[in-house]
């Protein structure tokens, strides 16, 4: 397992690779070309520049999160093959630069969602939180407005304003697409890209749906152990695997994360490890990483990853906002750095007990 940290690039992040380099155990960043739109072919020069920037700070690019997937691919509309060709070109260019891990998601229209981006806690920190009652009391436009007003001007991953401006049109193209159809479309995409992934040994790591249920009536197909197994079977290849995101799968208390990890030996290419605190039905806060602060047993999670021999990148996930820091919600330096020290401590103890 190698420790990594998400970085959004000089233009968008409040944190620098030089700061990240000072967090003990961190060897690399998980990053992306944040100003490309889904469907665009990435320029080799831009990939190289990003790589050189990260390497100048003494780190590596441990993976790309994300190369986002155009809605035409997810919805199988007429331009799907063209966008798959573009995706393959981007993969080739990443592979040529030695990048061997790509995280992506297959959520229609929008990525992760929360009802609050800065919910105050009694300790004075703020957290991202989800309350289905609040989400269900809004329509999508109200939700967009609410996210926009709470993001304090930061661009949120998965909520690109250019795409969100077209949300009505996007909802329209998913009419008639149920979970079964969406799974078929994922299979079609995976089977088309696997040859190039195998050529360059690029591991594709799908991110689970966050939260792990349907929101605004859209189909969601990466919610539990059964979905994960099914999507692996859609395109049998060593390159077709998973981002084990404890917070996303863990939004549903019925998902037994250590058991899911153990059932996916060899198929987990990347891990996001954070805790969640259940507050009721479909209601949770994103707590600090520490087991005692939330509802997930982080020791059992790291132990399961260790036991199956997982040796890919792991990153702390969203953190609380502490010590007055201002940054993209969920992606400040301090709480994520504390998270990584805690995860490293768990790992050291697990290794030494063996
Ligand atoms: C949110 C992230 C997601 C994730 C994508 C992966 O903070 O966990 O935006 O990066 O779903 O494609």
Q: Which residue has the tokens 């996001």?
A: 272
What's the 295 CA to ligand 1 centre distance in angstroms?
21
What's the 207 CA to ligand 1 centre distance in angstroms?
7
- Whole-model pTM: value is 0.97
pLDDT at 189: 98
pLDDT at 240: 98
pLDDT at 160: 82
Q: Name the residues annotated as catalytic.
A: 207, 245, 272, 317-318, 331
pLDDT of residue 214 exceeding 90, the answer is yes
* pLDDT tens-digit series, residues 152-192: 888 788 888 888 888 899 999 999 999 999 999 999 999 99
Nearest ligand 1 atom to the CA of 247 is 8
Peptide bond before residue 66 is cis, with ω within 30 degrees of 0:
yes
Mean pLDDT (whole number) for 95-122: 96
Strand order in the sheet with 283-285: 116-120, 126-131, 283-285, 277-280
pLDDT at 99: 98
**Ligand 1 pocket member 66 (CB < 6 A):** yes
Q: What is the 3-state secondary structure (H, E, C) of 144-190?
A: HHHHHHHCCCCCCCCCCHHHHCCHHHHHHHCCCCCHHHHHHHHHHHH
Q: Whose CA is nearest to atom 11 of ligand 1?
A: 105
Torsion (CA) 167, 63, 249, 146 in degrees, nearest 10: -30
CB contact at 8 A, 288 and 294: yes
Helix (H, G, I), strand (E, B) or coil at 228: helix
Helix (H, G, I), strand (E, B) or coil at 131: strand
Rounded CA separation 39/82 (Å): 9
CB contact at 8 A, 203 and 158: no
Rounded CA separation 104/107 (Å): 9
pLDDT at 159: 84
Mean pLDDT (whole number) for 185-204: 98
Task: Of 160-164, 196-200, 294-298, 346-350, give the lowest mean pLDDT range.
Answer: 160-164
What's the 201 CA to ligand 1 centre distance in angstroms?
22
pLDDT of residue 151 exceeding 90, the answer is no
pLDDT of residue 265 exceeding 90, the answer is yes
Q: What is the mean pLDDT of the chain?
A: 96
Residue 285 belongs to what H/E stretch? strand 283-285
Nearest ligand 1 atom to the CA of 318 is 7
């Amino acid at each position: 397992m190698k420790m990594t940290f998400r970085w959004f690039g000089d233009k968008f992040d409040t944190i620098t690779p030089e700061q990240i380099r000072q967090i003990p155990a961190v060897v690399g960043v998980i990053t992306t070309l944040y100003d490309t739109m889904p469907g665009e072919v990435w320029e080799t020069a831009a990939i190289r520049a990003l790589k050189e920037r990260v390497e100048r700070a003494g780190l590596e690019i441990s993976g790309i999160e994300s190369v986002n997937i155009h809605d035409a691919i997810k919805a199988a509309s007429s331009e799907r093959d063209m966008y798959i060709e573009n995706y393959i070109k981007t993969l080739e260019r990443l592979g040529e630069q030695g990048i061997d891990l790509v995280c992506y998601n297959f959520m229609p229209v929008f990525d992760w969602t929360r009802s609050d981006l800065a919910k105050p806690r009694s300790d004075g920190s703020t957290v991202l939180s989800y309350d289905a009652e609040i989400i269900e009391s809004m329509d999508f436009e109200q939700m967009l407005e609410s996210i926009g007003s709470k993001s304090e001007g930061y661009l949120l991953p998965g909520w690109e304003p250019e795409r969100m401006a077209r949300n009505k049109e996007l909802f329209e193209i998913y009419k008639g697409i149920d979970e079964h159809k969406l799974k078929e479309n994922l299979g079609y995409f995976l089977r088309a890209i696997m040859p190039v992934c195998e050529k360059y040994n690029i591991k594709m790591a799908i991110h689970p749906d966050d939260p792990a249920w349907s929101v605004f009536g859209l189909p969601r197909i990466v919610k539990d152990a059964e979905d994960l197994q099914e999507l692996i079977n859609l395109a049998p290849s060593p390159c077709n695997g998973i981002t084990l995101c404890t917070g996303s799968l863990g939004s549903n208390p019925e998902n037994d994360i250590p058991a899911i990890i153990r059932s996916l030996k060899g198929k987990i290419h990347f891990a996001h490890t954070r805790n969640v605190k259940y507050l009721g039905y479909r209601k949770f806060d994103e707590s600090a990483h520490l087991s005692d602060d939330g509802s997930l047993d982080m020791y059992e999670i790291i132990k399961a990853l260790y036991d199956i021999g997982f040796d890919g990148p792991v990153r702390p996930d969203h953190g609380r906002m502490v010590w007055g820091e201002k940054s993209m919600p969920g992606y400040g330096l301090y709480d994520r750095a504390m998270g990584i020290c805690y995860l490293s401590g768990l790992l050291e103890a697990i290794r030494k007990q063996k």
